[in-house]
Structure 1
Amino acid sequence: MKLYSVAPNQDVTAWIVKLEDVAPAGEFEAKDDAIAKARELANENTPSKLTIFDDEHNVEKEEQF
């Protein structure tokens, strides 16, 4: 199962989509854009899990594809 995540960078000026919490797959100014891209990647690579973090790095939501 592939693991994807959407989390803010350190100063919360951008949102980063990561694969396996290692390889950045993209950086976006808007959180919604990052989530959309992460969902697209996760859906293309099933089975996969997407974890979305809030601006304080707490888990906000988890989705499975």
Structure 2
Amino acid sequence: MKEYTVRPNKDADEWFVKIEDVSPEKSYPKMDEAIRHAEKAADDNRPARLIIYNHHNDIVDEKTYR
């Protein structure tokens, strides 16, 4: 199962979608944009898990796509 994450940069002014929490696939200026992209990627590549972090790097949501 692939794992996708949405994480902010250190200043939380850019949001990254990462696969397997390695290198960023793409960056977005807004968290909502990054979440939309990550949800689509996880949905298209089932089975997958999506973990979303806030600007404090706390997990705010987890979703599993089967």
TM-score range, shorter chain: over 0.9
1:32 paired residue number:
32
In 2, Cα distance between equivalents of 1:64 and 1:29: 25
1:41 paired residue number:
41
Question: Tell me, what secondary structure is at the counterpart of 2:25?
Answer: strand
How many percent of aligned residue pairs carry the same amino acid? Answer: 37
* TM-score using structure 1 length: 0.97
How many pairs does the alignment contain? 65
In 2, Cα distance between equivalents of 1:61 and 1:24: 19
Q: Which amino acid aligns with 2:44?
A: E
1:56 paired residue number:
56
Q: Is residue 4 from structure 1 mapped to residue 28 from structure 2 by the alignment?
A: no
Query: Which stretches in structure 1 are left out of the alignment for 5+ residues?
Result: none
Question: Tell me, what secondary structure is at the counterpart of 2:38?
Answer: helix
* TM-score using structure 2 length: 0.95
Structure 1 segments of 4 or more deviating over 3 A? Answer: none
